[in-house]
């Protein structure tokens, strides 16, 4: 899927498919790229998430942008989602360190162990969103959990996107463990730092994905061959 996505994204960003152009049919792309339909459809969904294309029922997939600017996860852009997560989840981690119960810790440790053993991306993503909901629950303020519930679908889409294109799972597991360790220690400072680091890494991976495959920009003072 990553190879197909890289190929199609590169073709769009090089202008081989211009804004307004319709991509070849799924059947044609499958033949040309020698991939199965499920693999192609995953790549096409990723192109839509990146904001490069839009799918129109009965008509096909059309190019709507020549470069990736701000991926969209459900109803929210990546930049809006990350901004809210920083303002909510970082302080929530601090509150959770102060207020978590033994039951909260047992639940989070259980989730963490399941995530570290899980090999299926879809199952891991579901556990990932549940983990963040459970940290909010440990803060003992129902409003925090309600906010995370509101963006739950977007979080799941973002998590799947980062794991498919950024190979984030193992790194994320380590970051989650650091959060749980801080909550276990009851350290507000360490919990805030661990969640902040986690979101920093999420942002970096998103940035790397957005920048990938962009044409190199000419530098001043260069000479022509």
**Angle in degrees, CA 203, 162, 60, rounded to 5:** 115
Most confidently modeled range among 4-13, 19-28, 57-66: 19-28
In the three-class reduction of DSSP (H, G, I as helix; E, B as strand; rest coil), residue 56 is classed as: strand
- Mean pLDDT over 15-31 rounds to 92
126-172 confidence digits (pLDDT tens): 999 999 999 999 999 999 999 999 999 999 999 988 888 888 899 99
51-79 confidence digits (pLDDT tens): 888 888 888 999 988 888 888 898 899 99
SS3 content of the chain, % helix, strand, coil (to 5): 70, 5, 25
Write down all domains in the chain, each with its CATH number in brackets.
2-63 (1.10.10.10), 73-211 (1.20.120.530)
170-204 confidence digits (pLDDT tens): 999 999 999 999 999 999 999 999 999 999 999 99
Instruction: State the chain's mean pLDDT as an integer.
Output: 90
Radius of gyration (Cα) for the chain, nearest Å?
A: 20
Q: How far apart are alpha carbons 149 and 112 in whole angstroms?
A: 19
**pLDDT of 217 higher than 50:** no
113-138 confidence digits (pLDDT tens): 999 999 888 899 999 999 999 999 99
DSSP states of 197-220: HHHHHHHHHHHHHHHTTPPPPPPT
Query: Hey, which residues does 77 pair with through a beta bridge?
Result: 72
- Mean pLDDT over 90-114 rounds to 97
Q: How many residues are recorded in the chain?
A: 225
- Mean pLDDT over 10-33 rounds to 91
* pLDDT computed for residue 221 by the predictor: 47
Q: How would residue 211 be classed by pLDDT, with cut points 50, 70 and 90?
A: confident
Record the tokens describing residue 103, joined without a space.
């039951």
């Amino acid at each position: 899927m990553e190879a197909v996505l890289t190929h199609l994204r590169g073709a769009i960003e090089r202008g081989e498919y211009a804004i307004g152009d319709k991509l070849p049919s799924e059947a044609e792309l499958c033949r040309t790229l020698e991939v199965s339909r499920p693999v192609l459809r995953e790549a096409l969904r990723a192109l839509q998430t990146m904001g490069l294309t839009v799918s129109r029922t009965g008509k096909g997939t059309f190019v709507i942008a020549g470069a990736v600017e701000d991926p969209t996860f459900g109803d929210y852009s990546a930049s809006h989602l990350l901004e809210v997560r920083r303002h909510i989840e970082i302080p929530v981690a601090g509150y959770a360190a102060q207020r978590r119960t033994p039951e909260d810790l047992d639940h989070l440790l259980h989730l963490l162990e399941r995530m570290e053993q899980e090999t299926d991306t879809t199952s891991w993503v579901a556990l990932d969103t549940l983990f963040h909901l459970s940290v909010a629950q440990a803060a003992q303020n129902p409003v925090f959990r309600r906010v995370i519930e509101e963006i739950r679908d977007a979080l799941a889409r973002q998590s799947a996107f980062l794991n498919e294109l950024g190979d984030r799972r193992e790194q994320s597991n380590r970051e989650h463990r650091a959060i749980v360790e801080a909550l276990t220690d009851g350290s507000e400072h360490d919990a805030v730092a661990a969640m902040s680091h986690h979101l920093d890494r999420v942002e970096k991976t998103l940035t790397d994905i957005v920048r990938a495959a962009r044409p190199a920009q000419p530098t001043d003072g260069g000479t022509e061959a």
